[in-house]
Each structure stands twice: as C-alpha cells, then as structure tokens.
A and B are shown apart, each in its own frame.
Chain A
Amino acid sequence: MKQDNSDVITIRDLYKSFGDNKVLNGVNFDLHQGENAVVLGKSGSGKSVLIKCIIGLLKPDSGSITVLGNNVTELDTASLDKMRVKVGFLFQSNALYDSMTVRDNLEFPLRRHWIKTEKSKMTDLVMEALTNVGLPHTIDMMPVELSGGMRKRIALARTLILKPDIILYDEPTTGLDSITGKEISHLIVDIQKKYNTSSIIISHDINCVRIVANRVVMLIDGKCHASGTYEELENSTDNKVKQFFEQ
C-alpha cells in the first residue's frame, strides 16, 4: 500500500442505509493519486450510493470521507462547492440539461462556480473540452439531437471543463454498444494521462474494466470485499469474485 499523503480520497467505516435497506456496511477505501480505480459490483449493490456520498449528494449514516484533505460530511455549503470544483462527476444518465444547447450545458458549471471569464475565453474552454472528447462540431446542438455515445462524451466534456483533480464515473459504458463502450473506456484512459487525474470508475462491464483499471475493488454486501489488479482478481479463487469474470 502507498503512503497516506498520496491518497486523494480516504473512506473509513462508511455506513448508509435507506430505512431497513442497509446499503453500505462499513466501506473502507482509498483512492491513490493518479490511479484509475474501478469499483465492481452487482446492480443495486450501492455503487452509486458510494460515490454520491463522496461528492456530498448523500449523507452517510456514519463513517468518514476525506477528499483532498476535506472532511466531506462536515463541510458547509460554500466549502462543499469549493471542493466540488476539483471533483468531477459523470452521471450514469449523463444528466445533460435538455433545455440548453451543448454550449450552455458546458458553460453552466463555469458560470455557476463563479469562475469569471470573458466570453471569448469561455468559448475557448468549451471548445477545448469538446475537442478532448472529439465533438467540437456539436457546440450549437441540443442534447436530444445527439446519439447515446455522443451524449456520454458531451457529459464527459462538461465534467472536464473545470479541470478536476478527481473524476467519479458512474457506469460510463452502461447502455452503450460494445464498440462505443470501448471508445469511452479509451477516452477515460486518455484523460487520466493528459490531465493526471485520479478516478473512481463504477462499472460491471468487464471489457471496460480491463481497459481502464489500474486497480479493481469489489463491492459485495456493502463492503469492499477484495482489491487487486485485474489479473489478480481474474485468477482469484473466491467464489463471489469469480462470478464477475465468468461472463
């Protein structure tokens, strides 16, 4: 294990339940600087709940989450917003604003985080983000005019526009065909290299995992069950782990 000061996210004994539904049962997890960590788990196992706790959209019942030195559960709104500038979130359903053009979608986080920029500078930033995902020509289109894969890329561009240190990806390839899924997976790796980001990627798509993962963590029964490189887990003798690789 690497040293503590190189960890950008530290989670200790995280518990979260909805009524009687105990979703997270003592999660311990560290994200190291510069790595792509994949969280693998069945549908409904609480993967989304985990990263929504990290970004402060959900409040855990107990446990601590430290992101870039901030204790997320104790931040006030202003400090939380400050932290969220450094942490990008790619939503599973993309969450593009239907009523806005691609340009307005990308400018939204810039404007809202009070990042004052001139209009021309803003356009430059939007174009840079769009070029990174290979879709500069869509700048004036509406989200409904785009295909599923394109929407995912635009959502990724919107996440990238603030140049975050950490990116949380919620099932980036789910619902896409396997070729598009592969393209998105390679894009994730490109971004990691280009901007030196650290990422948590939630997935149950083995092909995506193989491409992007530096390390894989299995979330089973509300706990981080096993952790290792893709190869290590692939050759694991644990039955619960094996299930995922027998596809």
Chain B
Amino acid sequence: MIKNIFIEVGLIARFTGRFFRELFKPRFEFGEFLRQCYFIGNKSLPLVAITAFIMGLVITIQSRPTLVEFGAEAWLPKMISVSLVREIAPVITALICAGKIGSGIGAELGSMKVTEQIDAMDVSGTNPYKFLVVTRVMATIFMIPILAILADGVSLYGGYLGANMHETVSWSLFWNQVFNTLHYADIIPSILKTFFFGFVIGIIGCYKGFNSANGTEGVGQSANSAVVVSSLLVFVIDLLAVQITDVLHLN
C-alpha cells in the first residue's frame, strides 16, 4: 500500500517532467489549446457561478449573528470579502473543476487509450503527449484562474445580497468596504495558487487517462481517481499556500 503510493508519486513526477520537456518543443498545438479552453469555460462556468453565488450568500448570512454579538455588524463586508476572495472562491472553483474537468479529461483520454486512438494519433504523425496532454494542462492552468476571478466577483455579489437581508447596506458602501479591506497581499497569492490548482487538475486527469487500464471499468476508474487525487492535491496546495503567505507575513 505505502509502496504503491510511492510508486504512483514517482510515476506522476515522471509524467510531469515530460510535460515540461514537451512544453517548449515545437510544434505548438495552438488550435487544440483554444478548443480546450473553450470547453473548460463552457462546461464549468455556470456551475462555478452558481456555487460561488450560494457560498457568498450563505457565508454572509451565517457570519452575521457572531458579529452582531460583538456589535461589529459593520465589519461584515470586511470579514466576508477576505474569506471569500482568499479562500472560498478559489477552492470552490478548483473543486468544481476537479469534478467536472478532471474527470472529463480522465474519461476522455482513458477511452482514447483503450480504443487505441492515442496509438492512431502516434502513427498519424502526431505526438499524442503534445496534442492531448500539453494542450489540456495549459488550458486548465489558463482557465482556472479566470474562473476563480469570476467566482470572486459572483460570491461577493452573493455576499452583498446576504448583507442586505436584515438591513440595508448600500451598493456603494458595500463595495467601498470590500475594496478598502482587500489588499494586493490578499488578491495576488489567492490568484497565484489557482494556477497551481489548474496545473494539478490538468496533469492528474491526463496522467490517469493515459495510464487507464483496459476495458470500460478501467476508464471509469481513471475518471474517478482523477477527481479524488486532484481534489486532495488542491487541499494540499492550499495548505502549503497558507504556510508560505504566513512566512512572508501576508496573512
């Protein structure tokens, strides 16, 4: 069991090493990269938006009573903006994408593997690693930060509505408070970590798909473990990120 985990980690590391080697070699599959970006955005935007909105709303409503107890209701926008932008929106986006995009990549490449489509590309003068893996990983690295920034906005809007349920907070007052609270030290690290979220979602999905066992069961398993492993890694990166910002006094 432990041994298998180490073997798996080694194999993933090798797969990742190959990604960086192939990344800078021509021919760049730009068309396929754009196609993948479009798919990722198209597939996950509605889901990300809805969950981010609900999280913003719910967090605001639930934080209120505690602040009221301390007579610090006015701090509501301040508090939720930090927790939404620094933590909740990026992580929710990454988890949704791990579920939606990671499993999709795992299943798609897995079924291409077992039906020999990857071999067929190889004999048709196409490096399947560049055409399938590099494009997809680049697309997740590129798109997940964009989705996370959108999620920031939508969840703050949900927070605005939540804040207005018990009292009126004017639109301009709310946003003034939000932007007075948020510093670059909040925003930059939170965006930076989403690049890493995107990277693990893409690379794990591709790794699992490329190494899919034969048969329909193998494909299902690839999709499933792509989600499990990449979600877990999202939390590990999140943990590392908070440690790093702590050391740098950015928290």
Contacts and interface: CB of A to CB of B under 8 A. Distances in A.
Interface of A: 52, 55, 57, 77, 81, 84-85, 87, 89, 91-98, 108-109, 112-114
Contacts of B115: 93-95, 98
B125 A95 contact: no
Contact of A92 (B111, B116, B123, B125): B116
A112 B119 contact: no
Contact of B123 (A55, A77, A94, A114): A55
Contacts of A84: 123-125
Contacts of B123: 55, 57, 84, 87, 89
Q: Which of B112, B120, B127 has the most CB of A within 10 A?
A: B120
A71 B121 CA distance: 22
Q: What is the size category of the interface that chain B forms with chain A?
A: 10 to 19
A76 to B, nearest CB: 13
Contacts of A57: 119, 122-123
B116 A81 contact: no
B124 A108 contact: yes
A91 B116 contact: yes
B126 interface: yes
Nearest to B124: A109
B126 A95 contact: no
Minimum-distance CB pairs A-B, first 3:
A95-B120, A95-B116, A113-B125
Interface in B77-127: 111-112, 114-117, 119-127
B120 A112 contact: no
Nearest to A110: B124
B117 A95 contact: yes
A112 B116 contact: no
Given A57-B122, A89-B123, 18 more contacts: A52-B119, A57-B123, A84-B123, A85-B125, A89-B120, A95-B115, A95-B119, A96-B117, A97-B120, A98-B111, A98-B115, A98-B117, A109-B124, A109-B125, A112-B121, A112-B125, A112-B126, A113-B125
B119 to A, nearest CB: 5
B242 to A, nearest CB: 39
B37 to A, nearest CB: 16
